[in-house]
Structure 1
Amino acid sequence: MVAPNAGTNIKIQSYKHNGNLHRTWESTIVLKGTEQVVIGANDKTVVQESDGRTWITREPAICYFHAKHWFNVIGMLRDDGIHYYCNISSPFVYEENSIKYIDYDLDLKVYPDMTYDLLDEDEYEIHRDEMKYPGVLDRILYNNISDLQRWVQQRKGPFSPGFVDQWYERFLTYRW
């Protein structure tokens, strides 16, 4: 797999299991790009929903994607600290100047004090039935939720102290 170069402006595209485009972030600056990990940042970027609605992100965010884990992590810099929104998703692929992944509805919302809530289990169950997720996928996703919760508890990867701040400082060097 080819990786995006640091400094490149890319899109992020979220799909559903049935192949339908779910959501697109129009502009993210790559801060680190390898075949295994992509770290990007955006601020006040346009997001387009599948129904055509658009909105603009409110704060700077550091995005962490991994090619082997079934989740991605967005660290949002807010006045009261860093809030994380973690999508339970397929590992990413990079093609056509875009990070692409399948969103499986389940989300882990992590607060600045590192407490967290698992969200959207009802939405996941509806889509699991509608799109006929195989049983093995259900196990993969719930195992990755456990891994993600361990990462939060151990302050690993994007949850480690200083991770988001360090990458945000790098992002500021690309802004003009």
Structure 2
Amino acid sequence: MKSKTGDLVLVHAYKHSGKLYRSWEKVSVFEETEDYLILINEEVLITEVNGRKWKTNEPAIWFFYKQGWYNIICMFKERGINYYCNLASPYIFEEGTVKYIDYDLDFKVFNDYSYKILDLKEFNRNRMAWNYSVEIVDKVWECVDEIKKMIKERAKPFNHEYTSDIWEQYQNLKNKN
């Protein structure tokens, strides 16, 4: 079943072991197509596997892909737009919940498009502990290169104008309701 703009959904991130490790409540659907899903985070409650709960600090747009092995969060901070990219399985949507497997590696991309790759030790530790297949490891590294290229080329969604335009469209929809 396809979601509609304004629907509230859950997001569940799993580890390769199959265990849920983080969930987001009441994330708003902005747009769903055959290829991607765009969600809006505004003061979303996040629950960690250890029970710790916290709310998102800034509004954000979250892009999920049906084929891409990553999802990208565009955060609107005081100093501009930053991006956080999770290397992860393509998402599935079932029973009002967006689900994906997190493969540990992350990109933190700053407003000036400089970036850091995070959690390499965690990736290597989990790769061994949970026996990631050669195909998964290759896919993750292929996506690292793909994301670097997207950042360099300012490809969507790593494009401030594009993400700002989506945010403006969302605000206009919200103000009409």
TM-score (norm 1): 0.95
Please give the secondary structure, in 2, of the residue aligned with 1:174: helix
Flag structure 2 segments of 5+ consecutive residues without an equivalent: none
**Alignment length (residue pairs):** 175
Q: Which runs of 5+ in 1 are unaligned?
A: none
2:102 equivalent to 1:99: no
Structure 2 CA distance, aligned partners of 1:90 and 1:127?
15
- Cα distance in 1 between the residues matched to 2:98 and 2:86: 14
Q: Is the 1:59–1:78 Cα contact (8 Å) retained in structure 2?
A: yes
- Counterpart Cα distance in 2 of 1:146 and 1:5: 33
- Mapping for residues 155-170 of structure 1, pairs under 5 Å: 155-170=154-169
Runs of 4+ in structure 1 over 4 Å off: none
* Offset of residue 165 of structure 1: 1.0
Amino acid at match of 2:89: S
SS at match of 1:125: helix
| Alignment root-mean-square deviation, CA | 1.2
Partner SS for 1:104: strand
C-alpha separation in 2, matches of 1:161 and 1:99: 25
Following TM superposition, by how much is the alpha carbon of 1:170 offset from its aligned partner in structure 2, in angstroms? 2.5
CA contact (8 A) 1:31 1:170 kept: no
Q: In the aligned structure 2, how far is the partner of 1:35 from the partner of 1:96?
A: 18
Q: Deviations over 1:76-124 (max 9, x none)?
A: 0001000100000000111111111000110011000001111000011
Give the counterpart letter for 1:174 in structure 2: K
- The alignment status of 1:87 with 2:86, answered yes or no, reads yes
TM-score using structure 2 length:
0.95
- Equivalent residue, structure 2, for 1:30: 29
